[in-house]
Structures are given as C-alpha cells and as structure tokens.
Amino acid sequence: MHAYFKENIEVLGPVFCELRAPPSTIDRTDVSQLTNLHEAMINEWKEGFMAALGRDRMYKRQCGAVTDQQIWMLGVLTKYFVK
C-alpha cells in the first residue's frame, strides 16, 4: 500500500491531506514528509490491528475478531483507494 502511495503521490497526496489533516508543521508539497506521514499512519493501523488481535487471542476469540478486523480493513482500503 505504501509503494502504491509513493508511485502515485501527485494524485493521492492531496486526497491523503484532505482525509488525514496533517499538522500545520507538515509541508504538503514535500514528498518525503507526506510519505513519512503516510507510513506512520499505516504503522498505526498495523499496531492497532495487532493489539486487537492479541486481546482476542488472550480471550480465545481469534476467528470472530479477525473477521471483524479484516472487514474493517477492507472498508478502509476501499474508501481510501476508491477516492
């Protein structure tokens, strides 16, 4: 996902800024700052997903939680890539 963003930054950059609302200290025209912010967002998603998965494993609810998280992630990806 990050490689796709890097390859299409001129189109996806403004959309990403509109959806994510980066801090005012970020230069929206600087490609390296936008790609770093995008990578940080993906890492947050991964950490959140793994934390939820870990909690569900602790309570022995793997299947249902993975399905819910996968559905959520597909929804996010669909919304992100369609726009």
Does residue 60 come out as left (phi exceeding 0), alpha (psi in the -120 to 50 range) or beta?
Answer: left
- Whether this prediction's pTM lies above 0.75 is answered by no
Each residue's pLDDT tens digit, 13-59: 888 888 777 777 778 788 888 888 888 888 888 888 777 777 776 66
What DSSP assignment string belongs to 24-37? TTS-TT-HHHHHHH
